[in-house]
Structure 1
């Protein structure tokens, strides 16, 4: 009660985690699986932004590229090189999926920084699906390409025979932990950064600390723009590593 009274007296009232609440777009009713929500809206905008950059931005294919074409070509070249360097030429067959994954996460992270926006990658329900799709996909590819030899991924032949069973158990556990690490890393970074920005923005309402709070918000916002790209890059490069394991499972 004393804390609430103090907050009302200073005019400081903010809830950093409110920005992650899923709300229906129309009305204030309960959210069901078929209910259009703020998540639905921002996912649609993410897809639209991706199409605008990759399709509309590169439609002209001018010799002297426009800004949109330059950004699209830069993203294309970066992801293409990433796959070729990590997974090899065999991995380039899966370039469309990896490229789509990278662009979706980048735009989800960046659009979430807009005022009044919703960061869909702050929810495990979203990042978990992305991670599960990657792990299930590379597992299927591994068995299709290698058959039972895909299990060589868990049997480290370079290790002494006595410790191979122990290492196999560790490898199996680490393999099934991959979707958790992928999803939690991305969502955790998005939640932490946005919550800190909201806290600093709340302190900006206090005249005594407003200048410091504004500087902190600007600095944190710039840092989150960098994090948005880094987290998309990390998610994508780990996807390429897992793809390499599926295509070339032998140690």
Structure 2
């Protein structure tokens, strides 16, 4: 959180900056290793450690292995319910997608800021990240759809039972709805995480400025209620972290169902 003259800037937390202020300019392009890239690597490392510790395949699973099996079983059940038995083949991708988003969301909520020089960064609060994930899912849907059905995949845009006199309208509407999917998928996650973090930073600003105010009545009237509200919003945001990861994985499975079963 950046602030000057008592003013708190809630948007500073989203600023992408080179790590250690070191810029790498190659051929006129800025290839600097940024805080965004750093937290992506941190997310991948946490995911790798989580999976490494949970793949021991012990006869009597420990808590770590049980946690990994719980998550994989949860995503596997979701895919089977939405796609059918063939949904299991998409488990590695959807599980990785779900866990990456979940861990990235949670890391952005951790109080790493109490350590001097460490500034937490939520990579899912940037549309470039969520948009790439959405486009990747959409590309897989297209690859699966055309490889499985060929040109018959276009029948997805002509719902069963469509009257002939609406054939000029329904297919373009369905096609537009289909093409909007990656935008809505990425935008939903981006907006949810950005809005939550802005709200928390605004409340944190009320707390800090209230405690630093010269008037004694400001702290009990502004700072304390803002602090209590911030605790509630933080707990709610942790729930949103999990919900948004689930929604992203769920919608991906539903889109894959369209590609597999042409529903």
TM-score for the superposition, normalised by structure 1: 0.91
Structure-1 residue corresponding to 2:173: 170
In structure 1, what is the Cα distance between the partners aligned to 2:73 and 2:224? 42
Per-residue CA shift, 1:110-166, capped at 9, x if unaligned?
001123310000111101100001111111110000111111100123121111331
Structure-1 residue corresponding to 2:39: 42
Structure-1 residue corresponding to 2:258: 245
1:27 aligns with 2:43: no
Consecutive unaligned residues of structure 1, counting only runs of 5 or more, are: 1-6
Consecutive unaligned residues of structure 2, counting only runs of 5 or more, are: 112-118, 212-217
Contact 2:44/2:100 (8 A) holds in 1 = yes
Contact 1:20/1:122 (8 A) holds in 2 = yes
Task: Please state whether the residue corresponding to 1:221 is helix, strand or coil.
Answer: helix
Contact 2:200/2:230 (8 A) holds in 1 = yes
Give the paired residue count.
240
1:70 aligns with 2:73: no
1:224 aligns with 2:218: no
Task: Please state whether the residue corresponding to 1:14 is helix, strand or coil.
Answer: strand
Structure-2 residue corresponding to 1:211: 224
Structure-2 residue corresponding to 1:87: 83
Q: Which consecutive aligned stretches of 4+ in structure 1 deviate over 6 angstroms post-superposition?
A: none
In structure 2, what is the Cα distance between the partners aligned to 1:93 and 1:59? 19
Between 1 and 2, higher relative CO (CA 8 Å, sep ≥ 6) is seen in: 1
In structure 2, what is the Cα distance between the partners aligned to 1:33 and 1:132? 24
> How far apart are residue 30 of structure 1 and its match?
8.2
CA gap 1:219/1:133 in 2 versus in 1, 3 angstroms: same
Structure-2 residue corresponding to 1:59: 55
In structure 1, what is the Cα distance between the partners aligned to 2:17 and 2:145? 39
Contact 2:22/2:32 (8 A) holds in 1 = no
Task: Please state whether the residue corresponding to 2:110 is helix, strand or coil.
Answer: coil
In structure 1, what is the Cα distance between the partners aligned to 2:30 and 2:60? 47
